Chain A
């Protein structure tokens, strides 16, 4: 094979091989850099710990989507499994660097927005709780805005139909408003509020008459009150006389007080007499004590006499036994 270029080939390029090698190196670097960057972006070089979220439904969850904490991504969905209980197990790889934001009391939610994909969020209320361990399983709370729409539309439709019924020409509200308008017109009329309340002329006249009679009754009550005032004044004088009789200089109360003083003197004399009686009783007690002591001495004397008699009896018995005329007291059997 010949190395000479064909005659219509372009003019030779200076340092062609070097330039070509540089371009090849650039291409290799770019491709390798892109691969490395994508691996880094996918978290291939990140140290992670696992978190398992249990959900009823994994709809909207895709591998690689983020889990955020306060709006910042701290983990991504690694894989999704179906548990033996029929629940979705979402395994999330949480970066070790950010794992301290997750605590044992953390709450996890999965939200389906109206626009965009499903979002997984973590909330940690008490950051002083123990950190979430590796491989922890937590139930995820699901909020579905799209699912709320049909329910909301149904409620709004019901509300609108109720409003239509309320505001229709035959609706009770309309009739009530018309009645209210009629009442307001009557209030502004010559009969006023009584006309609205009673409705006919005869009743209004009766009410007016009753008011007039009540006024007359009140006038008579005024006269009675005046008479009662005069009776009260006379009662005051009577009370003054009674006071003089009771508490005057020769009234009942001072005399009673003098009698009480005399009674106090009599009581003091009686107390002295009782003291003398106490002394007599003390002496009587001493006499009683002496008598008891003499009785005890007589007992001891009697015991001595009894002992002497027993000794004499024993002596006589002894003499009778030792004496030659002693009788044989034994009974001999044949």
Chain B
């Protein structure tokens, strides 16, 4: 990975240096993301010697998160379902409640929640570990011993983050659909055909494609952005905290971009 050129000493104003740092940081992120994508798509990254590390990271990313995520997703879904169903009934618009629930919960809220959950519980703590390894020079040591730190240390975490988002999003969507059905129709099966039809009407080909792209974009965002190297990472606890906040802001910004793009695609 080529480091970006150092800011010129002749830069006259502090705001100019800040803008330079900001641009350099995004450029570095793009470069790192491209590298990770190439590695993700390379068959050599999935050799049998890599599997142990990939399995370990995948399990770390999903296994411990599953119970907490299932509980939180169920509670949040139930609250939103109850609010929407009760509101729709009070306005005598209950026939539109299913449509609203599937659109708001499954298409918009749950992917966002899953992305934030994985970012906060797995990739950002993992990024802290990676930053520590970088600071200790262990990644350089790996270079020197002939190992590829991008493939051996970073790629499994990225892959685990992507798969964790996919698994949790699928699980959350299933839970939300199930809870919606149970709330609207109760413990019966007579409404299954009408419910399936309503869900099918929401998921037309365009919406499904946009949903898949959004999930992929969010998963790559939360998996890659926190692991990106920060060339100008500052020393000291306070500065490190500020770096973490900046990292979180970058993740949020990209998640927001994904949401906005998907909304534009779905509703304009």
Contact = CB atoms under 8 A, between A and B. Distances in A.
Interface in A27-67: 27, 30-31, 33-34, 37-38, 40-43, 62-66
A23 B59 contact: yes
Candidate in A16, A27, A66, A116 with the most chain B CB atoms within 10 angstroms = A27
Contacts of B96: 116
A42 B58 contact: no
Interface in B116-165: 129, 132-133, 138, 146-147, 152, 163
Interface residues on B, range: 35 or more
Contact of B60 (A10, A30, A31): A10
A139 B55 CA distance: 61
Contacts of A34: 170, 173-174
Given A13-B63, A20-B55, 19 more contacts: A10-B60, A16-B56, A23-B59, A24-B163, A27-B166, A30-B171, A30-B174, A31-B170, A33-B174, A34-B170, A34-B173, A40-B196, A41-B199, A43-B200, A66-B197, A73-B194, A76-B201, A115-B93, A116-B96
Q: Which 8 pairs show the lowest CB-CB distances between chains A and B? A: A41-B200, A20-B55, A30-B170, A27-B167, A20-B59, A42-B200, A41-B196, A64-B204
Interface of B: 49, 51-52, 54-56, 58-60, 62-63, 93, 95-96, 129, 132-133, 138, 146-147, 152, 163, 166-167, 170-171, 173-174, 194, 196-197, 199-201, 203-204, 208
Contacts of A1: 49, 146-147, 152
A320 B62 CA distance: 174
A6 interface: yes
Contact of A19 (B59, B132, B146): B59
Nearest to A62: B204
A8 interface: yes
Contacts of A31: 166, 170
A326 interface: no
A38 to B, nearest CB: 5
B5 to A, nearest CB: 32
Given A1-B147, A34-B174, A19 B63 contact: yes
Contacts, number: 85
6 contacts: A5-B56, A8-B129, A10-B60, A13-B63, A27-B170, A76-B201
A20 B204 contact: no
Contacts of A20: 54-56, 58-59
Contacts of A3: 49, 52
B183 to A, nearest CB: 19
Contacts of A33: 174
Contacts of A19: 59, 63
A74 to B, nearest CB: 11
Given A27-B163, A41-B197, A64-B204, A2 B147 contact: yes
B210 to A, nearest CB: 14
B58 A13 contact: no
B208 to A, nearest CB: 6
Contacts of B55: 16-17, 20-21
A17 B152 CA distance: 17
Contact of A26 (B133, B138, B167): B167
